[in-house]
Structure 1
Amino acid sequence: MKKQFLSLVLTMVFNTCLGQPIESDIQEIRIKYQNIEDSLPHAKRIILNRVFDNVPELWVLSYHGAYEVDLKDTVKNFTLDAEITVFFWNGKVKKIEVSKWDWPDGNFFRKNQFHFDQERIFFSYSEYQSYNHFNNSKPLVSVTEERYYYKNDQILRQLSKKFSARSGNSIKEESLKSENKIVPNHSTEHLQVGNEMIKWLRSNGYLDLDGY
């Protein structure tokens, strides 16, 4: 009995010690995340819009804060179904946000965000909104949010929450009420998506930021 008790105590101590560095890393990530979010109003931006139903896929550079390119009014004449916004300063990408929507049906909206430090993703966020337009007895929108924490390209934690809202305007309010749950079998898929995104942007010349 004493051996079982001792074994249990040692296991608890080991798990506690193991968890402390992770919590410290998570807290550091949250601080870096907030620093970027607070700095966004002062960041330069690149905005690309995807033209709906174009074959091959067509992205239009509608705004570039470094090169004084501003075609936002021009692209309003197109039918669009996706947008990429890159936030950067001092020649470094700090955040990329990708939004996609189901035009013209309006059945879903998807948003992915990636936060960078030293050209590595340290935090990412995904949001998926599914809309119900045909059954008034059910909430208009069902939302899934995922948060991912990374260190040295390894995932530390994945959090998930699911909730419903009666209107698009109440999504933020309902999100604050809903609790995050730790996903035990976390996935690196979202990290791969972010790395592929920045690779694609660079290969197409959209991230030529030298001197800015």
Structure 2
Amino acid sequence: MPRQQPPTRPVRRRSYDQFCAAARALDSVGDRWTLLIVRELLAGPRRYTDLHADLPGVSTDVLASRLKDMEQSGLAVRRRLPPPAAASVYELTEHGRGLLPVLSALARWGTPALAERRPTDAVRAHWFALPLLRALDGTEHAGVVEVRLEEGEFHIRTGGDTQGDDAYGYGPAPYPDARIVLDAELCLALGRGELTLAEAVAEGRAEVHGEGPLAAELRGG
């Protein structure tokens, strides 16, 4: 009779084992790559292959492990898209979307380190959504703004309450309320509060297109 193997215990994730809110948070998001995966999923549901493509340097094993950890922590879920897509995507839960202000604050703290782009630096257009969201915080009129950079396009939501919605997204928006054309350096300067978008438009450093109230507000009208 074959010897019966003892039941396998679930692997316990590493913990700081400290009764501290910051330590508990780092138990969930303190591992390398986790917050950058959150950054990607804040733009909306993504397939595993798309995540891997926009996270240069992460191995397939590490990405799969982090996604599994995020599911176990209630930060993300995996779901199957209906036909004809027939693909699985990962998306943030409401708990996971609550990390937006954390990422925004972290990006603001790290902005001084972007004084010079290194030859080895990867770049994606939507990575500039965080400083631009910060720059447009407090916009009176709510809507979707399409942003065009030399590096590509993305779109963001401004004004009002975006709870439950994606704060930003990949590529052009289907029906934007305004379009902004600018460069990455100006995005960072706006995020640092060095000038407003209306001032950048007046100086000829940015263009705002659109006829509605949101476009007019962004132009400073």
Q: What band does the TM-score fall into relative to the shorter chain?
A: under 0.3
Bigger relative CO (Cα 8 Å, ≥ 6 apart): 2
